[in-house]
């Protein structure tokens, strides 16, 4: 008898250097002054499920320098990126503008995907208990994979395919003003017009 596990792609998990983490957390705690980012993630009443704010240009550059080497690492370990066959030749990757997600206890991110080829999430401030969940198709049914998070996970980053469904549920807390802060962003293929203009 043989048991055959069918192959699948995965995600990368790593940690930010302390200096970069401290810089992003400081901005995240005061990001209400940054530009607001409007998304299509809405509650039934039409309001956003949680607010989003852009990352400053300075921290954008720092994040880009840290994250870009992981694109090569992802491609060396998983087949997803190489399986995308929509262009006649290779195109450079670009780092899209990331954003802060600020959640209070009743806030959430419903099941969604991102633009781009790869996406990432960085946890900067976490409550005692929260979850980040991937949803994907198995052979016969929908599957899910839950990453259970505590404050020990702050500073960690995950990098995953942008088309992979994921969600963040509301977290329990006795403090209505407690916040959960994360950064999300995408890595895309550069368009021809952008390439020519640069």
**Which residue, among 32, 71, 69, 74, has the nearest Cα to 54 in the 3D structure?**
32
- Give the model's pLDDT for residue 193: 65
| Residues 92-148 pLDDT 10s | 889 999 999 999 999 999 999 999 999 999 999 999 999 999 999 988 899 999 999
| Residues 44-92 pLDDT 10s | 998 899 999 999 999 999 999 999 999 999 999 998 887 887 766 677 8
d(CA 198, CA 196): 5
**Is residue 98 within 8 Å of residue 185, measured between CB atoms?**
yes
pLDDT average, residue stretch 161-181: 95
Give, as one character, the DSSP assignment of residue 117: S
165 — pLDDT class (breaks 50, 70, 90): very high
- Give the model's pLDDT for residue 52: 95
Task: Look up the pTM and report it.
Answer: 0.92
- Give the model's pLDDT for residue 191: 66
- Give the model's pLDDT for residue 129: 95
- Give the model's pLDDT for residue 12: 96
How far CA 70 is from CA of 11, 57, 58, in Å, comes to 11, 21, 20
Structural tokens at position 184: 């999300």
Q: Residue 131 CB: number of other CB atoms within 10 A?
A: 13
- Give the model's pLDDT for residue 87: 67
| Residues 128-140 pLDDT 10s | 999 999 999 988 8
């Amino acid at each position: 008898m043989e048991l055959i596990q069918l192959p699948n792609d995965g995600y990368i998990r790593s940690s930010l250097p302390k200096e970069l983490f401290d810089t992003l957390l400081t901005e995240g705690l005061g990001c209400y002054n940054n530009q607001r980012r409007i998304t299509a993630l809405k509650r039934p009443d039409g309001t956003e499920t949680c607010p989003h704010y852009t990352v400053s240009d300075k921290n954008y550059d720092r994040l880009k320098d840290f994250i870009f080497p992981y694109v090569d690492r992802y491609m060396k370990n998983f087949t997803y990126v190489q399986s995308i066959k929509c262009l006649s030749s290779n195109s450079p990757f670009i780092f899209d503008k990331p954003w802060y997600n600020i959640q209070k206890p009743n806030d959430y991110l419903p099941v969604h995907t991102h633009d781009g080829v790869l996406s990432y999430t960085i946890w900067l401030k976490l409550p005692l208990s929260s979850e980040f969940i991937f949803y994907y198709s198995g052979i016969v049914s929908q599957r899910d994979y839950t990453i259970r998070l505590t404050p020990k996970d702050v500073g960690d980053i995950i990098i995953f395919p942008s088309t992979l469904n994921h969600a963040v549920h509301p977290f329990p807390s006795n403090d209505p003003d407690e916040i959960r802060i994360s950064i999300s962003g995408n890595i895309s293929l550069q368009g021809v017009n952008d390439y020519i203009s640069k």
